[in-house]
Amino acid sequence: MKYTRLPNTSIRVSKICLGTMTWGRQNSEEEGHEQMDYAFEQGVNFFDTAELYPVPAKKELYAVTEEIIGTWFKKTGNRDKIVLASKITGPADFTKFIRTTGFSKDSIITAVEGSLKRLQTDYIDLYQLHWPERNTNYFGQRGYNTSMPDFWEDNIHQVLETLRDLVQEGKIRHVGLSNETPWGAMRFLEEAKVHQNLPRMLTIQNPYSLLNRLFEVGLSEISIREKIGLLPYSPLGFGVLSGKYLGGQKPRKGRITLFPNYNRYSGENAMAATQKYFDLAQSHGLSLAQMALAFVNTRTFVTSNIIGATTMEQLKENIDSINVELSGEVLEGIESIHNATPNPAP
């Protein structure tokens, strides 16, 4: 395993982060524990979860993933060996069953306390805002729709004050963003610069893959200059970049087969680009999944690559991507395909 550090801290994290959003829906507790056991044995010390997981969100399964992680901590006693990240749910129609979501003081405190209880821990290493409260372009929306009604009032200072108090209480150690835009990232960073008693966002968890490199437009410069590290999610585009959906295949337990509305990575242009990436990987003796993950691992703005899997075979292949070195010829081939079909998935 290779390691890096959470920006502006001494916290050492594996370059591969274990994503958990299928546990409790596509994976059982036993399978989640097996994944954590294996990942830990391979040197993965960074786990990412959220109160919303598993997804798709469902009232009856709310926060089951955190509970599965909590029982693993209790069983193994490995809490102090893991850097643990979780998230507070943002407002949306599909989250109304959770509570009055949003980032009010009471909402943040309630969310943190609930996560701590389920995770069977007294602190969370990295606590993230899962998506913005304001209307903006996240979850597959390419552009900012100015015609959308937006009742958000700037409360960023208040949000950071609440997070600061939780840091001071020892319930969270550091804070981060997710599904955020360049404006949002800079707004949080500038608030912490002006008011130095407020916590600084260390990371931003956004989509990034061969099919969606939109992070490179605007946010990558912010990431490098402001030292806010990317934690890329969906580096395999919901499994599309494993190649298993090519040729119209619909694997029975595949995520897109089970949940057809999760189609942001499986449109016509994305599938055409995927075929080209598949052919490139094959011509160099690589699996498409490992080439796609190894590419993400090489990006200078990436702190840790969030991989996920529903089978142990997938998990082993994904973690092993850390040992794959891409040649200059492969990287040139990737850029050629990207230039011909840039960002086919939003």
Positions annotated as catalytic residues are: 53
Chain Cα centroid distance, residue 43? 19
Cα–Cα distance measured from residue 205 to residue 310, given in angstroms and rounded to the nearest whole number: 21
Q: Which residues pair with 207 in a beta bridge?
A: 233
Tell me the HSE value of 215 on the side-chain side, using a 13 A CA sphere: 30
Task: Annotate 159-190 with b (16+ C-beta within 10 A) or e (fewer).
Answer: bbbbbbebbeeebbbbbbbbbbbbebbbebbe
The order of strands in the sheet holding 229-230 is: 229-230, 201-205, 172-178, 124-129, 83-88, 46-48, 16-19, 305-307
Nearest to residue 155, comparing CAs of 180, 187, 126, 182? 187
Tokens of 342: 């840039």
Burial class from Cβ neighbours inside 10 Å (0-12, 13-18, 19+) for residue 201 reads buried
* Block residue for tokens 């949003």: 102
Q: Are 249 and 209 in contact (CB under 8 A)?
A: no
